[in-house]
Amino acid sequence: MQRDSGSVTLKTSVQVEEEDISPQAKASSVDADDDALRAACDPVASQIAVNRSITAPEQRLPPELLAEIFLHLQKRPSSMLELIELDRIIARVCTTWRHVVLGTPRLWSSINVHAQSDTVDAEKCLRRYLPLSRSCPLYILCNTAGQPGLLPLLSEHASRWQHINLQISSAESRAMTPVATPLLERAQVHVRDALDAEHPGLLRFLQYTPRLRVLAFKGQSKEMAAKLSLPMSPVLVVLHLVLIDLLTSYSLTSVLPTIQQYRKTLKTLTCGLGGAGPAASESTQSAADERIQFPALLWLAVFGAGLELFPRISTPKLLMLLVDTGPAIFPSVFLDFLEREPLNIRVLQLLYNCRACSETDITMLLR
């Protein structure tokens, strides 16, 4: 109780306690209340954020449409680094995206294992990503240099190969067991090195190829011509066969039987063998009944010793012809071929070491 100018003021105990509280204590109390309020609001704010993400435009897309968007943006075939990005970044944006990415087999069915970074374990990645493709047909580009375990791993899924492009060593092709490839439509194989004498035969691992339509093979040693064993296919329409070694001359004799098996269906043929081809004085015409008929062949490219094809084949429907050889040694078998075949050829291209022949060269040829 206080006396002031004759008046008496009474204070309660609560008022006395409030006067005794310091400003710092009051501020701390306010902060504590503020923190408690924020803590109470945080779950609400989190739920609001979740609700907003659920209603975002990309979240309202049907999973099928989202999968098509991912497929449209994806490079095909995808490198290992791109698949890692798909797995570790795109698939972790949200639960929906993860379900779509991991649940779309086509995203994992096209793989390029060429020239990978040293930081990428290609074999480990293939073991994770190939199973994600499930039963989808596979498009595989693979350079096995320095990674001998890749080819056996890919062979486990050979029944789903649809398009393969392999750069392998002769040792890897020798060690590979025959596989059935019922879905295979396109195959490109490049053997980087020479063969040993006991090699059982190139491409023998392609045992069953009923759908194979395009086949390309490239090698660089003389033994490959004798060891070449092309797969059987009743529907093959394109064959590119290139055996080039600047120090080696090849003979068509060992290669021709492998080409002959496709004579009924073949429409495009490239035959490039090391060597300059037959000299004019050495060429002999085969009898008409001895020539191999290629009734469907429309496009033919030959160079080097591949010119030996001319006296041995007949191509009644040929429309385009490309020949690469030196004009000075241009064999007469080529001119004989033009004279005896029906005049259906619409495009004739003459090259010399992959360069178009000059008018002077063509004049020399036609004399």
223: its two tokens: 């033994």
Phi, psi of 179 (to 5 degrees): -130, 150
Q: How far is CA 50 from the centre of its chain?
A: 40
Q: Which residues contact 102 (CB under 8 A, 6 or more apart)?
A: 91, 132
- Give residue 215's pLDDT: 96
Q: Is the dihedral of CA 142, 143, 149, 151 positive or negative?
A: positive
- Give residue 14's pLDDT: 46
- Give residue 350's pLDDT: 79
SS3 128: helix
- Give residue 327's pLDDT: 53
Angle, vertex CA 237, rays to CA 342 and CA 330, nearest 5:
50
DSSP tag of 202: B
Residue spans of the domains in the chain: they are: 63-136, 140-366
- Give residue 366's pLDDT: 53
Size of the chain, expressed as the number of residues it contains: 367
Strand partners, 214: 186, 238
| Contact predicate 208/180, CB 8 Å | yes
How far is residue 86's CA from residue 107's CA, in Å, rounded to a whole number? 9
pTM: 0.77
What tens digit of pLDDT does each residue of 72-124 get? 988 888 888 899 999 999 999 888 899 999 999 999 999 998 755 556 788 88
Q: Which residue has the tokens 């008046």?
A: 7
How far is residue 172's CA from residue 176's CA, in Å, rounded to a whole number? 6
Of 326, 219, 348, 192, the C-alpha closest to 274 is 219
- Give residue 284's pLDDT: 47
- Give residue 187's pLDDT: 96
- Give residue 288's pLDDT: 58
Q: What are the residue ranges in the chain where pLDDT is below 70?
A: 1-35, 46-59, 115-119, 195-201, 221-227, 245-251, 275-289, 326-331, 352-367
How far is residue 295's CA from residue 317's CA, in Å, rounded to a whole number? 7
Cα distances (angstroms) measured from residue 188 to each of 15, 180, 207: 94, 16, 15
